[in-house]
Amino acid sequence: MTADGKALLRIEGLSASYGQNDALEPSSLHVDLGEIVVVLGPNGAGKSTLMRAIMGLIATRGRIYFKGEEISQRPTRQRASAGVTLVPEGRGILGPLTVMENLELGAYGRYGRVPKHEIRRSFDKVFGLFPRLAERKAQKAGLMSGGEQQMLAVGRALMSDPSLLLLDEPSLGLAPRVTQEILQSLAALNKEGLTILLVEQKAPLALEIAGRAYVLRSGRVVAAMHTADIAGPEALAALYLGA
């Protein structure tokens, strides 16, 4: 745990590889309850690998603790049931299905486990956060704009009622205005109590909503800081480049 005992996620010496290639060197980080933490770094730094490792989508070494319990050896479905949900890079929505069907899939693990009114409350929450999804319930997801698809990807993740939301490059391929809208939605969710770990290339926008940041370079965590301590683009560039 952190010194104040509030760590929701704690990672110790986590590493991962693809074949013979090390994609993530032994790395440690934590995310406290109620935080937004952003992971920054150049392309190929290992950011997506980190998110996949936390979710159990690739083989890893090291330890992952969630809510004080080690989940390092648990399969992905058990991590999801415990409250960890990933919005993957590229969104991963099912294009032939409607908006409503995609959202229902997000709640699949909850059907039969929780009262139906709780799932209805999740639908209300998603449609309140993203009114455009409410307007397009019957539309095929693959026919939506990139921004609407990203809203759907976030909405589908929220349907699982996560305690920790992982997002991998939510701004990918989106116009600046849409990116701002998505990130402000994440800030609103955080104000309601959701803890968020975010990988984002558009660093200045992410730093506006995050309280702390980690910088990855060549598969290793090279810096950890409060976002208020990053003194402008030059300082951020120096962290990226190792200057």
Single-letter code of the amino acid located at 61: R
146 and 176 belong to one structural domain: no
Residue numbers of the chain with a pLDDT score lower than 50: 1-4
Cβ distance 39 to 50 under 8 Å? yes
173 and 215 belong to one structural domain: yes
112 and 129 belong to one structural domain: yes
Q: pTM for this one?
A: 0.92
Beta bridge partners of 6: none
**Helical axes 146-158 vs 99-106, angle rounded to 10°:** 30
Cβ distance 45 to 217 under 8 Å? yes
62 and 176 belong to one structural domain: yes
User: What's the pLDDT score for residue 231?
Assistant: 66
Shortest CA distance to 12 belongs to which of 59, 72, 52?
72
User: What's the pLDDT score for residue 1?
Assistant: 40
69 and 169 belong to one structural domain: yes
62 and 109 belong to one structural domain: no
The number of folded domains in the chain is 2
User: What's the pLDDT score for residue 242?
Assistant: 66
Shortest CA distance to 54 belongs to which of 32, 80, 33?
80
Cβ distance 155 to 98 under 8 Å? no
**Which residue segment(s) compose the domain that 193 sits in?**
1-83+165-243
User: What's the pLDDT score for residue 3?
Assistant: 40
70 and 121 belong to one structural domain: no
47 and 104 belong to one structural domain: no
User: What's the pLDDT score for residue 4?
Assistant: 45
202 and 233 belong to one structural domain: yes
CB atoms within 10 A of CB 129: 18
125 and 111 belong to one structural domain: yes
User: What's the pLDDT score for residue 109?
Assistant: 84
192 and 74 belong to one structural domain: yes
User: What's the pLDDT score for residue 238?
Assistant: 76
Q: How many Å apart are CA 153 and CA 147, to the nearest integer?
A: 10
User: What's the pLDDT score for residue 24?
Assistant: 93
CATH number at residue 183: 3.40.50.300
